[in-house]
Amino acid sequence: MQQHTYAIMDEVEGSHWWFVGRRAILEGFLRQIGSKAKLQGSKIKILDVGCGTGANIEMLSQFGEAQGVDVSDDALEFCRRKGLTVQKGLAETLPYEDKSFDLTTALDVIEHLDDDVAGLKEMFRVTKSGGYSLFFVPAFMWLWGVQDDISHHRIRYTRKQIVERIEQAGYKVERATYANITFFPPILAGRTLMKLTGIKPESENNITISALNGVLGKIFSAESFWLKNFNFPFGVSIVVVARKS
């Protein structure tokens, strides 16, 4: 990611509707994982790969003992200011021993990697046998936008593409669904408009209406209810739950 985006992320990820909604959706999947694997209590070890400025580690901490790893010194400094446990490392060469964690997550991270399968294999390596991994990635190359450019994304996936890569790394995929179907039309329209007009904001995370931020966050968060039992046929993102057998 470009350096300036970490400061923007740290400022907005606590309240911006997209981050709020994503965390609500992820919490729903984490509760399902915890129920299946009986991963409950503070002794559960969790690693957030590509932890960014730390909001996801804070969210994950309610499910166990969470820590993070990231390649960016700037991102890690934001985490340390919050008192979070983090260390520097590449996703493709994680600085941890085999089978160190009960749960690993990569939340909008895999799409940044030059070799995504190598990163997935490393997550598989540090996950305990019988443990789980949770992935969140952007969907559809034709939804490519400014945020993909400034975040240095390599790809936006189809469900089939990300499932194939995760299985290639050794996992058994238990659930894979699109997410953010709610704002699919306006995001598609907005990115199409930016392409046609050449408008390039500093970050799409800055694009929101403050007065509506809370309402939009609640609307997006409501998807967590439907995703308990249903898979969406399309969306802006993809969520995958995988197990290391």
Q: Give 147's pLDDT tier (boundaries 50, 70, 90).
A: confident
Q: What is the pLDDT averaged over residues 72-80? A: 94
In angstroms, what CA-CA distances link 55 with 95, 142, 236? 21, 28, 21
The whole domain housing 31 covers: 3-243
Please write the tens of the pLDDT for every residue from 16-65. Answer: 888 999 999 999 999 999 887 666 555 799 999 999 999 999 999 999 99
pLDDT at 180 > cutoff 60? yes
Count the domains in the chain: 1
Assign residue 135 the CATH number of its domain. Answer: 3.40.50.150
- Please tell me the predicted confidence (pLDDT) of residue 212: 64
pLDDT digits (tens, 9 = 90+) for 107-138: 999 999 999 999 999 999 999 999 999 999 99
Angle at 120 between CA 114 and CA 123, to 5 degrees: 130
Backbone angles phi, psi at 58, to 5 degrees: -60, -40
User: Do the Cβ atoms of 62 and 70 come closer than 8 Å?
Assistant: no
Tally Cβ neighbours within 10 Å of residue 68. Answer: 26
Give 51: exposed, middle or buried? Use CB within 10 Å, 0-12, 13-18, 19+: buried
Site of tokens 């399968």: 117
pLDDT in tens, 204-240: 544 555 556 778 889 999 999 999 999 999 999 999 9
Residue 149, pLDDT > 90, answer no
Q: What confidence score (pLDDT) does residue 206 get? A: 47
Residue 242 binned pLDDT confidence (cut-offs 50, 70, 90): very high
> Looking at the predicted structure, is the pLDDT value of residue 202 above 70?
no
